[in-house]
Structure 1
Amino acid sequence: MIRKKIQQVKRLVSDVLAFQKLKRYQPVANEKTVVVHVQNPNIYHRFFYLLLKFYELAGYTIYYPMDFARFRNLRNKDRYLGLIVREKDFLSIQNKDFPSDAIVLEDTMFSPDYFNSYFNKNNQEEDCFHVPMSFHPFMYHQGIWNNMIDLNKKRVNSIFCYGNFDSKAYLEIKRTGFSVIPRTELLEFFSNQENFMALPGKKETLEKIRDHSLDQKYAFAIKENFALAMEDVRELLSYFNFYLCCPGVVMPLCHNVIEAMSVGTIPLIQKEYAEVMYPHLQHRQNAIVFEDLPHLEHILSEEIFHYSEPEISAMRNNVLDYYEQYLTPEGMVKNLNESIQKHQLIYLQAEHRSVTFIN
């Protein structure tokens, strides 16, 4: 009991000192300013951090006036949301006279009912904006999201997949309203194919790329057996023509598809997954889209390794154009600001909470 009290006092003192330091932070004057008046950002978890991070990376100065209670709540409740007040020179908590042309973010502008368009509006809802999926938050936090990658290298004409395939976690999506194939079932499907290959590690994978032994393979880097530093993810993705997009824990969207698209690796993606990305990914334009496992089997046997180099190059360029226009911080912020000017409803993901609206 005494030890717990001591830890609580230490935490309080640490929070007080950090709050006072942040109060003294004076950002550089900037023509691009965003002012945040969102009272309950905890609803959106990591996605609220990512929203503000994109504004910062797009060159905006961020003001988020708050008292000590809100500061403590943000700092200690969620490891990603806490980055808002833990990152150095990320935002100011001062309340001052802001420029009349500042972008203002308020609670009423946002909804966590992210999949409402898909399930209730036939995916035809107008006057709204879906804040897109992004990389893993730590990629932006660590400043490795835009590391230079050689996109002109000769690529392996294979399907690559990297991720966690824990059976308990990734079967949860079957209890939601989505009908996507869980990643565990995708792994089972591919592992029964003749061209399946479980990769042992980055070094061995690069050796197989150099000796062409990965050509026309289904190359899986299963996270439990394949250690890969976060800063190496995009580089490894850039060696392959195609990336198998596996759904997340409770929804189709997962950060890996964005990381793949950032280096021009073409998504191999199920239709429902492609249609909860906005704008939707299109078959043979910026993705290879399959309906179900029989259709996927047809694509594997009759299509995917039969595309010509010009066809693959065209799809890759479309993937990169999509990424630049919709998924980069500058692209997303530009599109979001236009939506704000039109007073459109903004759908922002809230992880499990967004999924509960479906049910």
Structure 2
Amino acid sequence: MIKKRFDQVNRLIKDRLAFEKIKKNTPENTPKAVLVSIKHHTVYHRFFYLLLKFYKLSGYNVYYPMDFATFRNIRNKEKYLSLIIREDNFLIVNKKYKPESYIEITDEMFSPDYFSSYFEKGNNTTGVYHVPMSFHPLMYHHGIWNYKVDLNKKRINSIFCYGNFDSQAYLDIKRTEFSVVPRTELLSYFESKPEFLAFAGKPDMLKKIEEGSLERKYAFAIKEHFELPMEDVRETLSHFNFYLCCPGVVMPLCHNVIEAMSVGTIPLIQKEYSDVMYPNLTDRVNSIIFDDLEHLNVILQDIFEMPELEIAELRRNVLQYFQDNLTPESVIEHLNNSIKNKEMVYLQAEHRSVKFLR
């Protein structure tokens, strides 16, 4: 009991010191400003961090006036949400710095009911804006999201995939309204193919890339074998023509597809997954889309026979889609236009967004 009380007092003191420190943050010399008047930040967790981070990366001063209680609530909650407090020189919380001119974002502008357009409105997105999926939050936090990558290197004509394939966690999506093939089943499907290859570790992967032995393979970097370092993700993706998009835990969307598209690696993606990306991906324009495993089997028979000119065109379109829709600057531009036009903005809330489907 005494230790628990001591820990509580110790945390309170640390929080107070951190609050006093953040109150000293001052605006940068820019006329661009966003005022955050959102109280239900915990609904969106990591996606709220990403929203504010995109404003910051787009050259905005982010004003978020708050009291100590709100500060503590954010600082000690979900780890990605707390980054808005823990990153240096991110927020301006002191009320005395509130600017005269700003864009204001409020609770009423946003909804976590992200998939209502797909399930209830025939995927009609007129008059709404879906804030798109993005890289893993830590890529932005650590400043590695825009590492320079050579996009003109000769690519390996293979399908690459990486990530976690935990057999328990990634079956949760089967208990939702989505009908995508879970990533564990996709792994089992590809494992049965003679072209399947799972890297034993990073040295093994690099060796095979360098020696050119990966042509026409289904190459997997499975987290259970080794974890691909985050700073190496985009560089690794840039070696391959195609990327197999596996759905997330409870919804099709996952950050991996955005990381792949950022380097022009062409998504091989199930239709329902592509349909909840906004704007929707288009088959043979900026993606290769399959309906189900039977259709995927047909696609795999000739995917490696695609002419290089067609692959190059697809790659250009993928990169253009990324530039137009997925960079921090393009997201904020679209978001601000939607706010100006008083459109509803759908912001991901992961599990909470999926719960609306029930």
In the alignment, the residues of structure 2 paired with residue 300 and residue 206 of structure 1 have an alpha-carbon distance, to the nearest angstrom, of 25
> Which residue identity does 1:326 align to in structure 2?
N
**1:32 counterpart residue number:** 32
Deviation at 1:57, TM superposition (A): 0.4
SS in 2 for 1:150: coil
**Residues 91-119 of structure 1: CA distance to partner in whole angstroms, max 9, x if unpaired?**
10022474454110000000000000000
> Which residue identity does 1:348 align to in structure 2?
L
> Which residue identity does 1:205 align to in structure 2?
M
- Residue correspondence of structure 1 range 176-187 to structure 2 within 5 A: 176-187=176-187
* Structure 2: gaps spanning 5 or more residues: none
Q: Contact 2:74 / 2:82 at 8 angstroms: preserved in 1? A: yes
SS in 1 for 2:91: coil
**1:319 counterpart residue number:** 318
Deviation at 1:139, TM superposition (A): 0.3
Deviation at 1:211, TM superposition (A): 2.1
In the alignment, the residues of structure 1 paired with residue 23 and residue 85 of structure 2 have an alpha-carbon distance, to the nearest angstrom, of 11
* Structure 1: gaps spanning 5 or more residues: none
- Residue correspondence of structure 1 range 108-119 to structure 2 within 5 A: 108-119=108-119
In the alignment, the residues of structure 1 paired with residue 27 and residue 142 of structure 2 have an alpha-carbon distance, to the nearest angstrom, of 21
Deviation at 1:122, TM superposition (A): 0.3
> Which residue identity does 1:337 align to in structure 2?
N
Deviation at 1:28, TM superposition (A): 2.0
**2:238 counterpart residue number:** 238
In the alignment, the residues of structure 1 paired with residue 214 and residue 222 of structure 2 have an alpha-carbon distance, to the nearest angstrom, of 16
- Residue correspondence of structure 1 range 96-245 to structure 2 within 5 A: 96=96, 98-99=98-99, 101-245=101-245
- Residue correspondence of structure 1 range 237-316 to structure 2 within 5 A: 237-302=237-302, 304-316=303-315
**1:10 counterpart residue number:** 10
Deviation at 1:255, TM superposition (A): 0.3
SS in 1 for 2:133: coil
In the alignment, the residues of structure 2 paired with residue 97 and residue 126 of structure 1 have an alpha-carbon distance, to the nearest angstrom, of 37
Deviation at 1:29, TM superposition (A): 3.3
> Which residue identity does 1:27 align to in structure 2?
P
Q: Percent identity?
A: 62
In the alignment, the residues of structure 2 paired with residue 210 and residue 82 of structure 1 have an alpha-carbon distance, to the nearest angstrom, of 40
In the alignment, the residues of structure 2 paired with residue 86 and residue 205 of structure 1 have an alpha-carbon distance, to the nearest angstrom, of 35
- Residue correspondence of structure 1 range 61-76 to structure 2 within 5 A: 61-76=61-76
SS in 1 for 2:69: helix
Distance 1:234 1:97, change over 3 A: closer
Aligned residues: 358
> Which residue identity does 1:85 align to in structure 2?
I
In the alignment, the residues of structure 1 paired with residue 101 and residue 317 of structure 2 have an alpha-carbon distance, to the nearest angstrom, of 34
In the alignment, the residues of structure 1 paired with residue 270 and residue 180 of structure 2 have an alpha-carbon distance, to the nearest angstrom, of 7
> Which residue identity does 1:179 align to in structure 2?
S
Q: Contact 2:114 / 2:353 at 8 angstroms: preserved in 1? A: yes
Aligned: 1:351 with 2:346: no
> Which residue identity does 2:154 align to in structure 1?
K
**Residues 243-271 of structure 1: CA distance to partner in whole angstroms, max 9, x if unpaired?**
00000000000000000001110000000
**1:332 counterpart residue number:** 331
**Residues 263-294 of structure 1: CA distance to partner in whole angstroms, max 9, x if unpaired?**
11000000000000000011111100000000
In the alignment, the residues of structure 2 paired with residue 285 and residue 125 of structure 1 have an alpha-carbon distance, to the nearest angstrom, of 20
> Which residue identity does 2:175 align to in structure 1?
R
> Which residue identity does 1:184 align to in structure 2?
T
SS in 1 for 2:79: coil
In the alignment, the residues of structure 1 paired with residue 17 and residue 100 of structure 2 have an alpha-carbon distance, to the nearest angstrom, of 32
| TM-score, scaled to structure 1 | 0.98
Deviation at 1:225, TM superposition (A): 0.2
**Residues 318-353 of structure 1: CA distance to partner in whole angstroms, max 9, x if unpaired?**
111111111000111111111111000000001100
**Residues 61-109 of structure 1: CA distance to partner in whole angstroms, max 9, x if unpaired?**
0000100000000000110000111100001002247445411000000
In the alignment, the residues of structure 1 paired with residue 98 and residue 113 of structure 2 have an alpha-carbon distance, to the nearest angstrom, of 31
Deviation at 1:227, TM superposition (A): 2.6
> Which residue identity does 1:300 align to in structure 2?
L
Q: Contact 2:242 / 2:266 at 8 angstroms: preserved in 1? A: yes
Which shows bigger deviation, 17-26 or 36-45?
Answer: 17-26
Q: Contact 2:26 / 2:97 at 8 angstroms: preserved in 1? A: no
In the alignment, the residues of structure 1 paired with residue 148 and residue 321 of structure 2 have an alpha-carbon distance, to the nearest angstrom, of 18
In the alignment, the residues of structure 1 paired with residue 154 and residue 125 of structure 2 have an alpha-carbon distance, to the nearest angstrom, of 41
In the alignment, the residues of structure 2 paired with residue 185 and residue 228 of structure 1 have an alpha-carbon distance, to the nearest angstrom, of 21
Deviation at 1:199, TM superposition (A): 1.0
In the alignment, the residues of structure 1 paired with residue 236 and residue 25 of structure 2 have an alpha-carbon distance, to the nearest angstrom, of 39
